[in-house]
């Protein structure tokens, strides 16, 4: 009986952790002066989502970084240029568009130094 209970518990924990991973995606990146940034991140929006949230944290010591979020239809949902000495931290919510969303980051003049953190969540 204890063996069956343990197997059921392990199964439930495994299933729960798989669901959690589907709902959230995080990434970190160190931005180094003199190196070109051309990072692309993807987030798959499923039919059962109500929408998505995206948090972008850019801690820039110097330089310029631009980003652009596109929905699966190729429409730009959010874009910005972050420059200078700044701690940029913003979260935005978007309506559901099922499919792969694309977030691109680029350095404008390769002089950026700092770090980047992003976090996608389902709504």
Could you read off the pLDDT of 88-112 as tens digits, one per residue?
A: 999 999 999 999 999 999 888 888 8
Contact yes or no for 97/70 (Cβ under 8 A): no
Domain ranges in the chain are 26-122
pTM of the model: 0.77
Q: What's residue 108's pLDDT?
A: 82
Determine how many CB atoms are found less than 10 A away from the CB of residue 7. Answer: 10
Integer Cα distance of 103 and 39 in angstroms: 8
Name which of 42, 41, 53, 49 is nearest 91 in CA terms. Answer: 53
CATH class for the domain made up of 26-122 = mainly beta
Q: Give tens-digit pLDDT for 2-61.
A: 555 545 445 444 444 333 345 778 888 788 888 887 789 999 999 999 999 999 999 999
């Amino acid at each position: 009986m204890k063996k069956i209970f343990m197997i059921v518990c392990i199964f439930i924990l495994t299933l729960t952790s798989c669901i959690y991973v589907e709902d959230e995606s995080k990434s970190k990146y160190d931005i180094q002066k003199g190196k070109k940034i051309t990072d692309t991140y993807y987030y798959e929006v499923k039919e059962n989502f109500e929408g998505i949230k995206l948090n972008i944290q850019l801690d820039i010591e110097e330089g310029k970084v631009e980003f652009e979020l596109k929905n699966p239809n190729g429409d730009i949902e959010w874009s910005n240029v972050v420059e200078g000495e700044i701690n940029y931290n913003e979260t935005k919510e978007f309506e559901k568009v099922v499919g792969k969303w694309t977030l691109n980051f680029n350095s404008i003049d390769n002089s950026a130094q700092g770090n980047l953190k992003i976090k996608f969540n389902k709504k």
